[in-house]
Amino acid sequence: MKKVLLIMLSLMLVCSLAACAPTEDEQTPTDAQLDPITIVLDWVPNINHTGLYVAEANGYFAEQGLDVEIIQPGDNYALQLVAAGQAEFGVSYQEEVTFAREADIPVISIAAVIQHNTSCFAAPKANNISTIADFAGKTYGGWGGEVEEALINYLVESEGLDEPVEIINIGSADFFAATESNVDFSWIYYGVTGIEAELRGVELDTIYLKDIDQAFDYYTPVLVAEEAWLTENGDIATRFLAAVSKGYQFADDNPAEAADILLEAAPESGAELVKAGQEWMAGQYQADAPYWGYQDEAIWQDFADWLYERGLLAEQFDGAAAFTNEYLPQ
């Protein structure tokens, strides 16, 4: 009788352990089974990158069988490193991808990080620049980009301003220091500099690019890959974007928790700024798109057409070839 009881208890224990063990579908791959992947940021970690850090911290990459290293750019831009095969993915911008492809650099955008352009022209309220007409006779401080100068000149022409805008290159100079010195207005990302202004108690007048013309509601930033690598490694791209999409959806829905995750990875970003910026960004990653990362051909084509009309592209550009939604979860 004792032997029977022992056998029954042993069988019950085995069955119990089997029931508790994860199924093959539920198991998370071990570190040895994970595919190593590198993604290069475009700048220091900020709220544009939150979904990547959420995907890492919450185990979404591991769930997809990926060991992802998130690195900051060094002497070379993310797009250059991706094109050279030194990283699988990178953070870039629609205009950068456009110019790269015109130069026969085989990179392609695989996801829009933020659905609408959150950048704007900004000036302290005391400078009285609330409309494009107010640009007349003012000094603009920029970073010296071709697109930047072309856009300012286009707006001056379109508005028929009787006084030109003086454009000076301030590089990476602090917006607040510049506008207290020799600059009247500049071009900022509101989620970073605009939020910092709010925290400082500095009132700004802003003119969002997306409100000027549909052509300027372009994708910034985007995630990119090298075309040949992408063709050969579509499964990895699909798994990577499944995890990243989940990360940005989490950030859209849980800004406070997402901010804590970003700060854990990049405490130098400043807690107050990151938390306020993440609250402001909540809901904007996907916004009105059918799913996170979605890219519209018209957005790519409209901006490329404008660049061509302004002489910044030598030939007509095929916007449809510059991006793909193929690897995104829908």
Same domain? For 88 and 227 the reply is yes
Same domain? For 86 and 223 the reply is yes
- Cα(324)–Cα(255) distance, integer angstroms: 28
In a domain, 61, yes or no: yes
Domain count, the chain: 2
* pLDDT, one tens digit for every residue, the chain (330 residues): 333 333 333 333 333 434 444 444 445 556 668 999 999 999 999 999 999 999 999 999 999 999 999 999 988 889 999 999 999 999 999 999 999 999 999 999 999 999 999 999 999 999 999 999 999 999 999 998 899 999 999 999 999 999 999 999 998 889 999 999 999 999 999 999 999 999 999 999 999 999 999 999 999 999 999 999 999 999 999 999 999 999 999 999 999 999 999 999 999 989 999 999 999 999 999 999 999 999 999 999 999 999 999 999 999 999 999 999 999 998
In a domain, 98, yes or no: yes
Same domain? For 102 and 35 the reply is yes
Residue 221: asked if its preceding bond is cis (omega within 30°), the reply is: yes
**What is each CA distance from 26 to 20, 22, 29, 64, in whole angstroms?**
11, 5, 9, 11
181, 199, 216 - which closes a domain: 216
Same domain? For 138 and 160 the reply is yes
Are residues 180 and 88 in contact, defined by beta-carbon separation less than 8 angstroms?
Answer: no
User: Could you read off the pLDDT of 8-31 as tens digits, one per residue?
Assistant: 333 333 334 344 444 444 455 566
